[in-house]
Amino acid sequence: MNLIPTETIAAIHDTPHRLVFEFAGAGSLALYWLHSVPGSSRTVLEATDRYAATSLTDLIGKTPEKFVSADTARIMAEMAYRRAMRLTDGAAACLGVACTAAIATDRAKRGAHGCSIAVYDGTTMRAFNLTLAKGARDRAGEEQVISLLIIRAIASACGVAAPDLALEPPETLEVDEETRPDPLTLLVQGDVEDVFIDIDGHAHLKGTPPVALLSGSFNPLHAGHEQLAQAAAAFLRVPVVFELPILNADKPPLGYAELERRLEQFRGRYPVVLSRAPLFVQKANLFPGCTFVIGYDTAIRIIDPRYYDGEAGRNAAFAAIAAHGCTFLVAGRIKDGVFRTLADIDLPASLRPLFRELPERIFRVDLSSSAIRNAYGT
């Protein structure tokens, strides 16, 4: 008897979805089935058998209260989704698929046999919790039922019909669906304009509005950035938050993989604001009343009429910034071997009220991201 749900899997392969599969305890047969039907290279990006407890703990970043639970499966699916987004750089319809299971083995188990399966597509988290009747099947039989449920769960996320499960009384299947949009996906796709990343690296659509921002590409984040933020915070007497725009007026936009790489520098150290605002007039619209902490070289660039198609455009942009109650705090920087400050900039009279100088005695670090990249050949 052919147990492979061939038609369902072929239909899955015909959809644009790409998936990463994380499984523990059962699920290897589902992976075999996916690869048994031609076209799996269009669907499967990566699969990992988290058979050792330490492997699963490494994936989710902590030891779960219960290894086989809906909560554990959801976390696994979210991590798998993020991995899929990194592997495709967000250019595909991605799925994170997870299964954690306890099935018959060569020793008696006190707990129930069954599994928790989750599939996450960046918007919806689908969870499937199956309790099996102990003794109704051998290990291979339980693996088959769970693997069929995995295929059904993937099919559901792909909008594909799948065969029913043949369960034995008193076996139960509970299905739950939760809307859980991924903030980073929404930001990269342009559905939201800003995202807040807490100190633990978790993304949120809402956060405390910043009162002072230090914007940069942070490639890499270095001591100069950190000391500037600290000095500006002491001078302003308010917290200074790092802001990483994923769009840049002079550079290509950041993809999902590069965005996560740069965010990893802040995890466990600093919160970050992400935005789709490359220009300060756009940042002012997003963060009214904010002080923007910038360096001398940035100040020179942002007052240059060439970036605004002339003086009229520049003056209109700064009028909008002023209307939002935003100002600039300018730190000095080495330029052509000389430490330059705000006093060295020929500011138009109409712009002067928007700029303040961060004194050299409070901050001076002769370090740049480009110099660091050049030193390491990156």
Same-domain pairing of 171 and 207: no
Same-domain pairing of 96 and 203: no
The count of domains in the chain is 2
In a domain, 285, yes or no: yes
Same-domain pairing of 222 and 293: yes
pLDDT tens by residue, 44-91: 999 999 999 999 999 999 999 999 999 999 999 999 999 999 999 998
Same-domain pairing of 210 and 169: no
Same-domain pairing of 275 and 259: yes
Residue 307 phi, psi (nearest 5) = -80, -5
In a domain, 35, yes or no: yes
Same-domain pairing of 95 and 42: yes
Q: Which residues contact 276 (CB under 8 A, 6 or more apart)?
A: 187, 190, 192, 193, 194, 245, 246, 247
pTM: 0.88
pLDDT tens by residue, 171-224: 999 999 999 999 999 999 999 999 999 999 999 999 999 999 999 999 999 999
Structure tokens at 218: 């942070």
Neighbour-count burial of 368, counting CB atoms closer than 10 A to its CB (0-12 exposed, 13-18 middle, 19+ buried)? middle
In a domain, 212, yes or no: yes
Of the candidates 203, 192, 194, the one whose C-alpha atom is nearest the C-alpha of residue 271 is: 203
Which of 180, 201, 235 terminates a domain? The answer is 180
The beta strands (E) that lie in the chain are given as 17-24, 44-49, 93-102, 113-120, 124-132, 172-179, 194-197, 203-204, 212-215, 241-245, 272-275, 291-295, 327-331, 333-335, 338-340, 355-358
Same-domain pairing of 23 and 172: yes
> For position 32, which CATH number holds?
3.90.950.20
Cα 265 from Cα 261, distance rounded (Å): 7
Which of 151, 180, 209 terminates a domain? The answer is 180
In a domain, 1, yes or no: no
Same-domain pairing of 274 and 140: no
Structure tokens at 334: 């080495």
Which of 139, 162, 180 terminates a domain? The answer is 180
Q: What is the pLDDT of residue 235?
A: 98
Same-domain pairing of 148 and 167: yes
CA distances from 160 to 84, 258, 308 (A): 20, 32, 50
pLDDT tens by residue, 297-329: 999 999 999 989 999 999 999 999 999 999 999
Q: How many CB atoms lie within 10 A of CB 275?
A: 21
Task: Check if the beta carbon of residue 126 is closer than 8 Å to that of residue 157.
Answer: yes
Same-domain pairing of 169 and 251: no
Q: Which residues contact 354 (CB under 8 A, 6 or more apart)?
A: 318, 321, 322, 326, 327, 328
Q: Which domain holds residue 309?
A: 188-376
Same-domain pairing of 64 and 164: yes
